[in-house]
């Protein structure tokens, strides 16, 4: 028996806007700390673990794609951080 059945359906009950808040928070934290990558999500069961990691070349794209959802949550402090890092990454030629 395989450890993981890729035909198995998974249902996640989450709010997409809140997920965007968490992802952008992690990316901004990684940028604040000068990290080249950050963990986005980790799913584990028994002897199997799945990790989704973002690398620094993806940070700008992630922030730009999720900014609108973060704005919808009215987390304006995070929006300011996201805009700061979008502008900084563009200035540094990381686009």
Q: 56 lies in which domain range?
A: 16-91
Distances (CA, A) of 10 to 5, 47, 48, 73: 11, 18, 15, 26
Task: Please report whether residue 6 resides in a domain.
Answer: no
| pLDDT (0 to 100) of residue 8 | 55
Task: Please report whether residue 10 resides in a domain.
Answer: no
Task: Please report whether residue 11 resides in a domain.
Answer: no
Task: Please report whether residue 3 resides in a domain.
Answer: no
Alpha-carbon distance of 36 to 19, in angstroms, equals: 21
Task: Please report whether residue 52 resides in a domain.
Answer: yes
Task: Please report whether residue 55 resides in a domain.
Answer: yes
Task: Please report whether residue 59 resides in a domain.
Answer: yes
In the chain, the number of structural domains is 1
Tell me: the pLDDT tens digits for 28-71? 999 999 999 999 988 877 777 888 899 999 999 999 999 999 99
| pLDDT (0 to 100) of residue 49 | 82
Task: Please report whether residue 82 resides in a domain.
Answer: yes
């Amino acid at each position: 028996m395989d450890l993981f059945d890729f035909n198995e359906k998974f249902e996640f009950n989450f709010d997409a806007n809140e997920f965007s808040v968490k992802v952008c928070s992690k990316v901004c934290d990684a940028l604040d700390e000068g990290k080249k990558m950050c963990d986005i999500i980790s799913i584990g069961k028994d002897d199997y673990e799945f990790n989704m990691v973002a690398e620094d070349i993806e940070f700008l794209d992630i922030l730009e794609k999720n900014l609108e959802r973060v704005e919808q949550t009215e987390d304006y402090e995070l929006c300011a951080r996201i805009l700061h890092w979008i502008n900084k990454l563009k200035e540094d030629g990381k686009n």
